[in-house]
Structures are given as structure tokens and as C-alpha cells.
Amino acid sequence: MLKIGGIEMKNQVVLAPMAGVCNPAFRLIAKEFGTGLVCAEMVSDKAIIHGNKRTREMLFVDEREKPLSLQIFGGDRESLVEAAKVVDQETNADIIDINMGCPVPKVTKCDAGARWLLDPNKIYEMVSAVVESVNKPVTVKMRIGWDSEHIYAVENARAVERAGGQAVSVHGRTREQLYTGLANWDIIKEVKEAVSIPVIGNGDVASPEDARRMLDLTNCDGVMIGRGALGNPWMLYRTIEYLQSGELLPDPSPEEKIRIAILHMDRLVALKGEAVAVREMRKHLAWYLKGLKGSARIKDVIMEETKRDDMVRILDQFVSQLHMVENDEPFTSAASPAAVAQ
């Protein structure tokens, strides 16, 4: 099993720290679907220090989510250390993760995120400063390199280990690739062979079979699932089951998808209030509906909705409509696409 510091996970599956996705509402669903470790979306070190209300909300950890990793980012050593102390002393997160993989310019321009990939010495300096200042285990999430000409994954992972980092997650793409092209699992394997701390592989894990292949090829200690879980937490438990027993469980029914989507929305409402939650839920529902017959029409309708109850009504009617299609029943006016859109 995957073990980070003194924290042992019940399996090898990790939910990636996706921005705008991995809040407590989705993390708790991932945990209920069996995920060994869930990671919170990254939070700016300076935002943590300034302590604004929204940032403090992002640091909230439901006890049911544990073990949980809370990710921070920043380019200044002093502020990163101070933010890490806040996470260490004022939250019930189990692990402090440092982001050195985020490719977006507004982060890299601040000498943070993927910018560190160019300088193993800075990685050592920053990670060691955090490790010395906190009690919780410190980990790092990184990419294999800045671009194809600057791939220092092995050197960077070794710097993390020397600095006292307890694990490293490696996304098999460069910063230049963003989320395009293929993830290079061979370099993840090189990292695993170069360090003795746990290595978690990330990138192009879209099915349970992908997770098995990654583990077999790289010998990494855990597999991190990101985009494959968007609107699809079943990917997490199906992967867990497949890794443990070799059994490939079936995909969920449309009813089950919609049931969990509504649960997700209701948790977001409790967390953020109806107005914010329903707007935020639109993108999630587009993911939950992916692959369902006739979902394109329903997505257009959902993008205009602002009320929780109206959203639920539309989703319930959509499922009823799917049943009629499957059973070759005639549409009733109540379940027609036009009625759904009202």
C-alpha cells in the first residue's frame, strides 16, 4: 500500500489536486468511492498568509475526507514557509503538498509552480525550508520538465528527497505540453528508480486498465487520477477494484450518474450557497452527462439555470426521457426535450 511518512493509505489510488474541482464537495464523493488519498486544489501562499475568507474556506477539511493532502504554491521562500505553518498548525490536513507543476503563466511568472522545474537547487532550498518548519509530511507534485529541452525530473526528484520530502507525484508531461500530447511514463519510471521515497505516477490514466499499465511499467507506488475522474468518480472505485482483484466493474447507469451529480450539487450548495454552487455545478454536470444519449441538448439548457430545484427537475426529466428511448416508449409531453427545456 501507499505510505507517506507515517500515513498509510488503504490503496494506491490518489485524486489529483485539480483547481476549481477538488473542493470538499467533490473530494468527499471521491473518498466515499474508496479513494486512498484525496488532494485539495492548490492555494496561494500569500493568500493563506493574508487570510481572506475565501482562502480560509479552501483550507477546510471534512474529517470524512482524511487522509487528505493540502497543496500550496508560491515563489518566495519566506511566504511559502509561513503558509506551510498555517496549514501545519491550523488545519487538519494530513499532508502538505508543494506545487511545482502548474503550467499557467500567472503562476510561473511569480516564480512558482512549474517554474521550479528549471532549478533543482531552488527545489532543494524551498522544500528543505518548509520541511524544517512543519511537523506534517511534505510532498511535491511536479512535471517531468519545463520543455523537451529541459527535462530534469530525476535531478528534481532527488532534490526533493534530499530536502526531506516524503513523496513526489510526477505528471509525465512538460510545462510546454500543458495537457496535450502523451504523458511520458518512461521518465516516471526513471524517477522511481532514482529515489527511495514513494513516487506517484500521473498523466493519461483514463481507465482502470491504464492505471494497471502505469503501475506495471513504472513500478511507482501510487497512481494519481485527475481528468479521468471529472464527472466520473466511478473511475476511482473501478480502478481500485481492478487493481485489487482484476475485476472490471461496469460503468454506472444514467440514474446512478444523475443521483451522484445531484448529491454533488447539494453538497456544493451547503458549502457555497445556491447561487454560486449552481453556477459552478454547470461544468460538472457537463462532465457527468458526457456519453449519455441526447446529453448535448440538455447541456445547453443546464448552462442557463440558476436554481437548484430547476436543475434537479431537468435532470430527472432527462433520465425519464432516456428510459423511454431504451424501452421504445412514445414520448409524453412531460418528458419531451421541449418540456425538459421549459
Give the residue numbers annotated as catalytic, written as ranges.
102
3-state SS track over 115-183: HHHHCHHHHHHHHHHHHHHCCCCEEEEEEEECECCECCHHHHHHHHHHCCCCEEEEEEEECCCCCCCCC
Alpha-carbon gap, residue 200 to 336, rounded angstroms: 47
In the 8-state DSSP scheme, what is residue 33? Answer: T
Instruction: From 84, 98, 162, 168, select the one nearest 124 (Cα to Cα).
Output: 162
The answer to whether 173 and 188 have CB atoms below 8 angstroms apart is no
CB atoms within 10 A of CB 211: 26
The x, y and z cell numbers of residue 163, run together, are: 530536502
Alpha-carbon gap, residue 214 to 172, rounded angstroms: 11
Instruction: From 341, 291, 283, select the one nearest 315 (Cα to Cα).
Output: 341
Question: Could you give the C-alpha distances from 329 to 147, 321, 337, 339, 340, in angstroms and in order?
Answer: 55, 9, 15, 17, 17
Angle at which helix 185-194 crosses helix 153-162, to 10 degrees, equals 30
Question: Could you give the C-alpha distances from 262 to 48, 94, 308, 316, in angstroms and in order?
Answer: 31, 29, 9, 10
Instruction: From 175, 100, 101, select the one nearest 130 (Cα to Cα).
Output: 100
